[in-house]
Structure 1
Amino acid sequence: MRAHPIYFLRIAGLLDGISLLVLLGIAMPLKYMGGIDQAVSIAGSIHGAIFIVYALAILYAAFRVEWSFLWSIAAIAAAFIPLGNFVLDWKLKKVQHQYNVKSFNYALLVYSIVFFSFFDLFSQLPVMSTFAASVGASSFIVGFVIGLYSLANTFGNILSGIMTDKFGPFKILMLGLILSSSALLLYHLVDQPSILIVVRVIHGFVSGLIVPAAFTFSANTTISNQQGKKSALTGTFVGLAAIIGPAFSGIMASKTSVPFVFTCVSVIGFALAIMSAIFLSKYKPLKKETDDPVVSSFASIFNSGVIKAYAGAFFLMFSQGVIAYLLPLHVQTLGYDSKLSGTLMSAFGIIAVLVFVLPTNRIFDRVAPSITMAIGIGLMGLSQLLIGQSTSTIALYIVLGLYGVGFAFLFPSINTMLIKATPKELRGKAYGYFYAFFSLGVVAGSTVLGWLPFNLVGGFTFTGILLLVFAGVIAFTKQKQRAHA
């Protein structure tokens, strides 16, 4: 009789919990009280390796067990809380017999691939600037190599879209996973700024192959009246990556090294590639739905719905770029600890995930995506205006929570709008350009605010007004379309 997937999760969780206690209770005191630096390096490396096994056990259980997605979230959270794994094991032991093993759900694997791609991105945020400085990069080069990833990612997104339509999403997913996981290992070779620049270009480009193919796979295998809900669930994994990625890399890099952190991410990518080869290989590229030359033309991608989705993607990530650039400076100016910036960003991610996973996600299939899009971008614009006026910790958390709600409304809306506005045989190309606008938005958000002569409050105010104007344009366009109808 085969062991239950929850059993594997419990064993991996206990090992992860024990290794965390050893790291915190033995290795760290040996380093800071006894001066034995190697204790943390060794214990941290072991804990990192066990965490990877634990993460894979969570994925396996999510694929095979008929239980709530909240169990997976709880399992992830337990890994960052001392004794959390032991409490989880006690809970799982009592309920293990209640959950049956189900057949493999390919959708969860696609969600996990999306998580990996954004986990790769977000895990870079806390460590890349310090890593670049450690190999001798000047302040200009530090900023350059951070933006270079997103720029290279743009070209990867576009190529992925074109290749996905030509060869099918499965082959491009496999190519992206293998190349991206391999590129992460190249950071071990970095010992000077010039090599780091080359590695960043390679890493950014090949990582850009994954997301358009993954979203195309998901969209092409979902019935039309559930696209909004599925886009929200996909957004859940993006939100989880935004919450877990920075925390994981920040903690692990402080105990081991940045290349080791990227090696951990690489192992997860290779594991997903193996699982994809086993479970997704049966998927065949879709045949064209029509031979109409108009449908297959390049121009057909750029209809009004697609243009709105692209604009929404750009302004969503433009806003994110502004948050990443100005929020830490605003927090520092107010006299708060720099750690507050990280917890504020995690807070907005948590709020967004709750909107994604709770029954609120049904709204995305019951309300027109242009309406929820206008609401989302409006809430994000309002929060930008309020951030600059917020001076207390409580006010900042409330405003970032509002921003999280806006993000949660906007992300599924623009995905649903894109899906409904494109035929299946052009969806890969459409998603390629879509995520190219994502990448460009990140670069533009921080760059434009750096160029303009605004102080911190002025920067937030400018961004807020820009988003509110865009929300008004979307709402006005929708009202005009109703009038003509």
Structure 2
Amino acid sequence: MREVTQDKLNIFIVMFFISLIMRIQIPVFTPYAAAFGASSILIGVIISVTSLSNLTGNLIAGPLVDRFGKKLFITLPLFASGGLFIAHGLAGDSMDLLVLHGLNGFALAFLIPAAFTLLSGYAKNSREQGKNIAINGMLSTIASIIAPLLGGQMVVWIGYANTYFFIGTAMIFTATYSVVFLKDRQVTSVIKHKQGSEGGGILSTPNLPIVYLIAFAVMYIHGVLIFEIPYLTVERGLSTFQTGQLFSYMAIGTFITLSFFFINRFSPFLRLMTGLFGMSMTLFALISDLLQLPVLLFMMGVFFGLIMPAMATSITENAPKAVHGRAFGYMSAIFSLGIIVSSSVTGIIRDTVSPYFVAFLIGMIVLTISGYLKGGISLQKVPT
């Protein structure tokens, strides 16, 4: 038991540092690309290409994680990503950033499904699963609070290029730690072709399409924020440290929600619907300029924290354990798809239509469709 606890602690440590290091670049990348002369449309294209390569990697990663184990697909992507982040600091123009960011997205695509699958294996039931995801979410949120502030300030201290050198080096150190301390305790086996083991079987599982649909809407909204908030650095002349502060408000809200472990007792679907509704209403308040931006981002974080543990729990409850890697791979692919669509649309329409309004519409449409589909599934289960 003590060994299992230590192994789980190592997973939490690795995932915390991954979250911390990756989020350092959130307030850094957009102004860095703009310094090379990249327009808002080109920045949107870069983010979209990165997410597309990430999506492709997610679809490849799932079956490989189920077949060959988790640790391999945690350590190798970390080393690759570290080298690519260092190369960001050596970029000569925006096209270099396009290629490097795209390759990095593909490398990191293998990481998240493997890490979540490894963590899910340490839960005996859905409540413990929810607690593990919540703890990981809290650690990730702490990283979200610290990282944007750190990233914004590092640019002031050492400049853009050296910030990317630091990010890459830190990622390589994390990879080395994972090689030494991370253990792939679960037995891996070749998954035979049977119902539920293939992608089509996963997507035909009654509740999973609803979870994935909500995941798309959530990440679309998240993608709009990731695109728009750093752009304030360019448009309003804010410092990277100030934009980092704005992301930290969102992270604080997420942390508060995740600290309420009793929330995991409620239905995952109820938490997903409530969270998406809250995010959509917060967007409406943002469009209407009803509250200050820091307050609205804090509220967005509160609802985001309600959604993420519920999403992981919904997947482990509805997907067979033997295909958790594929199920989480599809989840990551949907996340990437949401970022692809949001960044592409936002880069094109932001001068004519509010990206927040479009995100609000998508959130409400998905809420309506999800409620309808869930009601249809429930009716099918009622005996006639």
Could you tell me how far apart the structure 2 residues matched to 1:347 and 1:133 are? 24
Kindly state the Cα deviation for residue 188 of structure 1 after the two structures are TM-superposed: 4.1
Kindly state the Cα deviation for residue 180 of structure 1 after the two structures are TM-superposed: 1.6
Residues 1:197 and 2:98 aligned together: yes
Query: Larger radius of gyration, structure 1 or 2?
Result: 1
Could you tell me how far apart the structure 1 residues matched to 2:346 and 2:308 are? 23
Residue equivalent to 1:388: 287
TM-score by length of 2: 0.86
Residue equivalent to 1:221: 122
CA 475–265 in structure 1, closer or farther in 2 if over 3 Å, else same: same
Kindly state the Cα deviation for residue 342 of structure 1 after the two structures are TM-superposed: 4.2
SS in 2 for 1:223: coil
Residue equivalent to 2:334: 437
1:468 to 356, 361, 364: 364
CA contact (8 A) 2:27 2:243 kept: no
Residue equivalent to 1:362: 262
SS in 1 for 2:195: coil
Which AA in structure 2 matches 1:461?
Answer: F
Residues 1:448 and 2:345 aligned together: yes
Residues 1:379 and 2:278 aligned together: yes
Could you tell me how far apart the structure 1 residues matched to 2:59 and 2:358 are? 30
Give me the identity figure in percent: 25
Could you tell me how far apart the structure 2 residues matched to 1:406 and 1:206 are? 29
Which AA in structure 2 matches 1:390?
Answer: D
Kindly state the Cα deviation for residue 170 of structure 1 after the two structures are TM-superposed: 1.2
Could you tell me how far apart the structure 2 residues matched to 1:164 and 1:263 are? 30
CA 344–463 in structure 1, closer or farther in 2 if over 3 Å, else same: same
Residue equivalent to 2:142: 240
SS in 1 for 2:279: helix
CA 330–479 in structure 1, closer or farther in 2 if over 3 Å, else same: farther
Kindly state the Cα deviation for residue 293 of structure 1 after the two structures are TM-superposed: 1.8
Residue equivalent to 2:251: 349
Residues 1:132 and 2:132 aligned together: no
CA 153–112 in structure 1, closer or farther in 2 if over 3 Å, else same: farther
CA contact (8 A) 1:347 1:397 kept: yes
Residue equivalent to 1:307: 209
Instruction: Identify which range, 313-322 or 291-300, moves more after superposition.
Output: 291-300
Kindly state the Cα deviation for residue 252 of structure 1 after the two structures are TM-superposed: 1.0
Greater relative contact order, per chain length (Cα 8 Å cut-off, separation 6+)? 2
Residues 1:208 and 2:105 aligned together: no
Which AA in structure 1 matches 2:145?
Answer: I
CA contact (8 A) 1:385 1:465 kept: no
CA 341–371 in structure 1, closer or farther in 2 if over 3 Å, else same: same
Instruction: Identify which range, 303-312 or 407-416, moves more after superposition.
Output: 303-312
Residue equivalent to 1:419: 316
Could you tell me how far apart the structure 1 residues matched to 2:355 and 2:40 are? 22
CA 136–322 in structure 1, closer or farther in 2 if over 3 Å, else same: closer
Could you tell me how far apart the structure 1 residues matched to 2:378 and 2:60 are? 37
Could you tell me how far apart the structure 1 residues matched to 2:182 and 2:129 are? 20
Q: CA RMSD in A?
A: 3.1
CA contact (8 A) 1:129 1:143 kept: no
Task: Provide Cα deviations, 1:308-339, integer angstroms capped at 9, x if missing partner.
Answer: 22222211110012223445779999x89677
Kindly state the Cα deviation for residue 264 of structure 1 after the two structures are TM-superposed: 2.4
Task: Provide Cα deviations, 1:249-290, integer angstroms capped at 9, x if missing partner.
Answer: 2211221133322332233323332332233235243347x9
CA contact (8 A) 1:374 1:472 kept: no
CA 212–367 in structure 1, closer or farther in 2 if over 3 Å, else same: same
Could you tell me how far apart the structure 1 residues matched to 2:7 and 2:321 are? 19
Kindly state the Cα deviation for residue 425 of structure 1 after the two structures are TM-superposed: 2.0
Kindly state the Cα deviation for residue 234 of structure 1 after the two structures are TM-superposed: 2.0
2:175 to 268, 273, 279: 273
Could you tell me how far apart the structure 1 residues matched to 2:283 and 2:345 are? 16
Could you tell me how far apart the structure 1 residues matched to 2:355 and 2:39 are? 26
Kindly state the Cα deviation for residue 233 of structure 1 after the two structures are TM-superposed: 1.8
CA 141–327 in structure 1, closer or farther in 2 if over 3 Å, else same: closer
Task: Provide Cα deviations, 1:404-424, integer angstroms capped at 9, x if missing partner.
Answer: 221111111111111111122
Kindly state the Cα deviation for residue 219 of structure 1 after the two structures are TM-superposed: 0.9
CA 475–336 in structure 1, closer or farther in 2 if over 3 Å, else same: farther
Could you tell me how far apart the structure 2 residues matched to 1:279 and 1:337 are? 41
Task: Provide Cα deviations, 1:165-201, integer angstroms capped at 9, x if missing partner.
Answer: 1201111112122222222222343223443333222
Residues 1:406 and 2:307 aligned together: no
CA 376–140 in structure 1, closer or farther in 2 if over 3 Å, else same: closer
SS in 2 for 1:169: coil
List gaps (5 residues or longer) in structure 1: 1-63, 65-101
CA contact (8 A) 2:30 2:231 kept: no
Could you tell me how far apart the structure 2 residues matched to 1:464 and 1:283 are? 43
Could you tell me how far apart the structure 2 residues matched to 1:392 and 1:284 are? 48
